[in-house]
Structure 1
């Protein structure tokens, strides 16, 4: 087995949090990791793809582009997903899941939880063939948080009277609708976990939906994860599952993106973008555009926010 370094670059995203980039030996390139066409001389390989930070648009788009390039590269026989994520917006977390699930349908995928794979971070890796954790890893936290400004929750009726609508349901926002949509997303999240991990889980659906997070050892016991190990263990397990790899005759390509902010910052249900030094370069209402009153998150813990939050009990 030989190891080679390669580069990923995530794209600046439009919604929440931080601009991320990739850095390897001082060279910056585009997000495509390898050429799609493999030569006959290339040895089979295991690709290590890293997601650190929230499952926001920027981080997920970068990983999805890397996985797309991997699927087009005939020399890559298996993938290791190295993850340290508390989750993020539900829509971006779904994109993460879909990209991983599609890859897992074409080649072995092993997830390695470097720090946390919680909520949307776990959603993204749940379709992996194996999930490997450290004893200190945090896994689980299956659930949804709704963020909405107080005016939407408490004064939806008065707010809506300001508008002339093309139909009775156009832009209707209220607590009943928010709860219905949140519960629908929760059912889908829990259902996805049960579909992919149900045979391994010692927990029933209600226990899975309670939102609890588990340390690595307990996660292996209850079926949220498969075994204790490290990155090398994950690489070896991925290689052992690959039909085109025999023994240790394979290369390992490792991407090393620059870590993004570990904190998921939510503005008043609008755009909030930070620079790498933490300076807020965009905030709600700067230009009066893209005021988004309701946003659904699959996150571990309670993010920093000035807005009201509503929880579902599972």
Structure 2
């Protein structure tokens, strides 16, 4: 009853504010923009985080008015503009766009839906790379600044082997692994990159390259052969990009209004000494609507969908979230978040967002057990848009279904363990250590020597036991035999598409589709729902702490490095969904 009173008062205030502004909006409606400007920059959130306006003032980092903050807000804005007969289209500015492949696909999908409503999309950039150019290929017209560039060069990935370099400074890496495809220790043990590591990377390069070729062929109306030739001839200056047909024309930012909304010659001559007004952002269009959409407070609360983030290397304890030092997912923090989502009666279902390359086997199993308990009470869907491998994949097994984007990294069912020996480095520095033990394996963690035959045998047995337990977890969750999972295991990694074919993934789709499906499994069918994030890291950890902890023998369920292919071959983890 109290809620009804507050909702009624809130809606009454909204109505009064709307009516008071009506005369001003009627005056402004005659000048409602025909093109609305949007700016895509950095990484976009999946959904809007509600922030107080005054926080921007304190931080001094308020974004430009046209900057898109989330895929959700962009989709809603395009939906409103598509219904306005006065609106001809949008201007899409790209500046340093850095989203995952899954988010890029969602942007392209939204732009194509907007075009199908009879509206135009005009893309503009100063400098654009492979990712940004794929987004621009979804536009009707592509414009580039006269001093701009199109860094269309294809994809590269650099694999590194540090074995010889570590040996030169007196450090030896001693690792035991289960599976020829569990190549993570090779970074420290091998002098050269192995054939298996190279083949693994090339499989992902082939998929990303094919996607880039298809985007250029479809967007610029070229054959696949012509698209590949265009990539081979990159990068491009602005003039070369126009000549090659990658962009339609060169246009400075100041010239954009005149190009999109041309005026009669007499008006241009009259105002030729006055600068063109910049294109309006979405806020200006909304302010010029006589009856803008009002977000009325619903009498009933929206359905609540729980969201749990498992991002970074999985470690025991609380984990960390930076900004200084690497991001880790602590088992204590994640388990607490899972339990909180399970206890919340308003959360009808849970989405487990995973962007983790794995980590501690023990911590991964603790997280898996917690997720399994919640999944017995309510629907839990795991979603991967970048990487869920080994420990990350193990955690996903607790969900009823695993969803993935097409180019995410999944799998890597395997185990390795080891330590670094620094006896050579200590001798070079004049450091002398004497190891005294009581017990055959008492010195197994020592960095002053390698493994004894007895210690290595013990470690191999533990790694094998952990691997068999991993196989059993996957076999049970995926309803397969351990032999079938072993054939897909031993460290093999898959893209989301290949993981679907291998039976390691249930569906390939978007984050929004996974959210709606989770609610549908709970019997809730709605496009509007409240996304509630549970948990978060409680402290920070430095890179030095991780390196020091790596000097001891640990069991890992996967390589501690998450990677994403870029046009420069960079390996960079990132995630954002809030």
In structure 1, the partner of 2:479 is 198
More strand by share: 1
1:299 matched to 2:554? The reply is no
1:178 matched to 2:449? The reply is no
In structure 1, the partner of 2:415 is 144
In structure 1, the partner of 2:350 is 79
In structure 2, the partner of 1:188 is 469
Offset at residue 203 of structure 1 (A): 7.8
Alpha carbons of 1:105 and 1:295: their partners in 2 closer, same or farther (altered >3 Å)?
same
Alpha carbons of 1:94 and 1:117: their partners in 2 closer, same or farther (altered >3 Å)?
same
Offset at residue 109 of structure 1 (A): 0.5
Offset at residue 248 of structure 1 (A): 4.6
1:46 matched to 2:305? The reply is yes
Offset at residue 63 of structure 1 (A): 2.2
1:226 matched to 2:500? The reply is no
In structure 2, the partner of 1:211 is 491
In the alignment, the residues of structure 2 paired with residue 282 and residue 132 of structure 1 have an alpha-carbon distance, to the nearest angstrom, of: 31
1:253 matched to 2:532? The reply is yes
In the alignment, the residues of structure 2 paired with residue 250 and residue 191 of structure 1 have an alpha-carbon distance, to the nearest angstrom, of: 36
Q: Which has the larger radius of gyration?
A: 2
Offset at residue 77 of structure 1 (A): 1.1
TM-score normalised by the chain length of structure 2? 0.37
Unaligned runs of 5+ in 1: 8-24, 28-40, 153-158, 262-272, 285-289, 304-314
SS at match of 2:307: strand
Query: Cα RMSD (Å) of the superposition?
Result: 3.7
Structure 2 counterpart of 1:55, from 306, 309, 314: 314
More helix by share: 2
Alpha carbons of 1:176 and 1:282: their partners in 2 closer, same or farther (altered >3 Å)?
closer
In the alignment, the residues of structure 2 paired with residue 223 and residue 210 of structure 1 have an alpha-carbon distance, to the nearest angstrom, of: 16
In the alignment, the residues of structure 1 paired with residue 361 and residue 50 of structure 2 have an alpha-carbon distance, to the nearest angstrom, of: 29
Alpha carbons of 1:73 and 1:5: their partners in 2 closer, same or farther (altered >3 Å)?
farther
In structure 2, the partner of 1:112 is 383
SS at match of 2:314: coil
Maintained 8 Å contact 1:5/1:254: no
Alpha carbons of 1:160 and 1:122: their partners in 2 closer, same or farther (altered >3 Å)?
farther
Maintained 8 Å contact 1:46/1:78: yes
Offset at residue 190 of structure 1 (A): 0.9
Structure 1, 176-185 or 60-69: larger mean CA deviation: 60-69
Unaligned runs of 5+ in 2: 1-46, 59-299, 320-328, 424-432, 445-454, 563-578
SS at match of 2:388: strand
SS at match of 2:372: helix
Structure 1, 111-120 or 202-211: larger mean CA deviation: 202-211
Offset at residue 148 of structure 1 (A): 2.2
Structure 2 counterpart of 1:124, from 395, 405, 411: 395
Greater relative contact order: 1 or 2 (C-alpha under 8 angstroms, separation 6 or more)? 1
